[in-house]
Structure 1
Amino acid sequence: MIEVHQFPCLDDNYGFLLHDPVSGETACIDTPDANAYLTEARKKGWQISAIWNTHWHPDHAGGNEKIKAVTGCTVIAPAAEAERIAGIDRTVKQGDVVCLGDWEADVIDVGGHTLGHCAYHLPAAKIAFVGDSLFALGCGRMFEGTAAQFWASLQRIKALPAETTLYCAHEYTQSNARFALHADPENEALQDYCRSIDKARAEGRPTVPFALARELATNPFLRADNADLQARWANLGGKMGDAVATFAALREAKNNF
């Protein structure tokens, strides 16, 4: 099976090395800290052959040039953000496929946090790397996109098989959980999830990766089309029957929470 090596870097980022033991190929999923990636790859005995960038922010693409200089790897990044990412060899967009050995990853447009943000979904492995588009119980801050664009992006993530395991880029889950409980306080599945999150963090365990199925039942940003949530937020900037307006209200509220 394909291997994912996860490790902390910078203040609250996670780094990921994706390794195919058959071909020996290894991809960096984003490059927040070049030295950390090179060190972790060396510890594993893996040779970095590719970088898959999700978006242009420095804590996602800032290590591209150093890692490429050391390893000679191929840099793959979103076409819509090519002018803002260093060292690109190939640009990708919605519907494209990238490979690691015989493993295929579908490129998904998840713009909203940044305009060209993309995710990488490996159907055969039942995993997806979603960068800053979606977090456990949260979503990225809407720096560049519109609410309509971001909601459409989240719809693409929602459409993935429910058994998909999601890897996001930051350990933001406890903060997200506090807002989720504010946004959707009567959700019993959410209450259970938050208890498990607090337990994991108290024990020093990461909350990433996480299951899409659980997010579908608990993440308020994925539930902006839920009638009960829309009703709760109808007088807070949301609107009954309008998922985009409800998502926008939730995102603005989170910005100020």
Structure 2
Amino acid sequence: MTLQLHTFPALTDNYGFLLHDPASEETACIDTPDGAECLRQAEAKGWRITQVWNTHWHADHTQGNLAVKSATGCTVIAPAEEAHRIEGVDRTVGPGNTLLLGEWQAEVFAAGGHTLGHIAYHLPAATIAFVGDCLFALGCGRMFEGTPDQFWASLQRIAALPQDTTICGAHEYSAGNARFALHADPDNLALQDYAREITAKRAAGEPTVPFRLERELATNPFLRADQPALQARWGGGDAVATFAALRAAKDAY
């Protein structure tokens, strides 16, 4: 039996994720943007949330922890470096740790940059990764707390996952990201195709999340800061400098 993923919109532009193992009947809720909505979605699927996996401390990812925990008695798991800023934490994890959902193993890796202690969860056997606000379709998170070196290293860890990995980024930012990506890398034909597809999906009210890593590697300028063409265009002498230039330009775009 395979894992079942349920993605649902929450708040203004967040996504919530429920990952269900039919064999054990365990369900992980990855981040809790809206506790009541997380519970409604789980009830509609006939699933009981047994774990919460937080990616970072921001309220739109953790503010539903207590509501979900109170209703279900679930275990709340959070990044060790940020647990003091998160309510309801029962267990902390960090890079190199593993979690189990039934018999499915999730590997924790560092995804800092957006926040210092941000983590991501990768389930190799299910070819899926939950990356919070580190990576979005055609974009990445704002660099609120980290440094360009740290953020680029985090993106490289994601880039090193198998290319068929399904990436669950936590926001519907794809349309805006596509506009900047076309500005950043205007000659990329694969990007042009992807941007048209995103425009069509959003016009039809369809989500653009989750997405495949393979496509991001070919189109997402923040993952391609090591490419000579982008470095030449953005004046970066290396990948970190180019990433920093792209992130600053996106902030002002």
Paired with 1:250 and 1:7, the residues of 2 have a C-alpha distance of 30
> Are 2:248 and 1:247 equivalent residues in the alignment?
no
> Are 2:49 and 1:53 equivalent residues in the alignment?
no
Q: CA deviation at 1:201?
A: 1.1
Q: How does 1:82-231 map to 2 (within 5 A)?
A: 82-231=83-232
After superposition, the C-alpha distances for 1:136-191 in whole angstroms (9 at most, x for unaligned) are: 00000000000000000001000000010101110000000000000000011101
After superposition, the C-alpha distances for 1:202-247 in whole angstroms (9 at most, x for unaligned) are: 111110011100000000000000011101111xxx22xx110000
The letter of the residue matching 1:248 is A
With normalisation by structure 1, the TM-score equals 0.97
- Equivalent position SS for 1:11: coil
Q: CA deviation at 1:39?
A: 0.7
Alpha-carbon RMSD: 0.6
Matched positions, count: 252
Q: CA deviation at 1:87?
A: 1.0
With normalisation by structure 2, the TM-score equals 0.99
Paired with 2:6 and 2:217, the residues of 1 have a C-alpha distance of 25
Paired with 1:80 and 1:161, the residues of 2 have a C-alpha distance of 27
- Equivalent position SS for 1:106: strand
Paired with 1:28 and 1:176, the residues of 2 have a C-alpha distance of 26
Gaps of 5+ in 2: none
- Equivalent position SS for 1:48: coil
Paired with 2:36 and 2:88, the residues of 1 have a C-alpha distance of 17
Q: How does 1:48-87 map to 2 (within 5 A)?
A: 48-87=49-88
The letter of the residue matching 1:119 is A
Question: Identity over the aligned pairs, expressed in percent?
Answer: 69
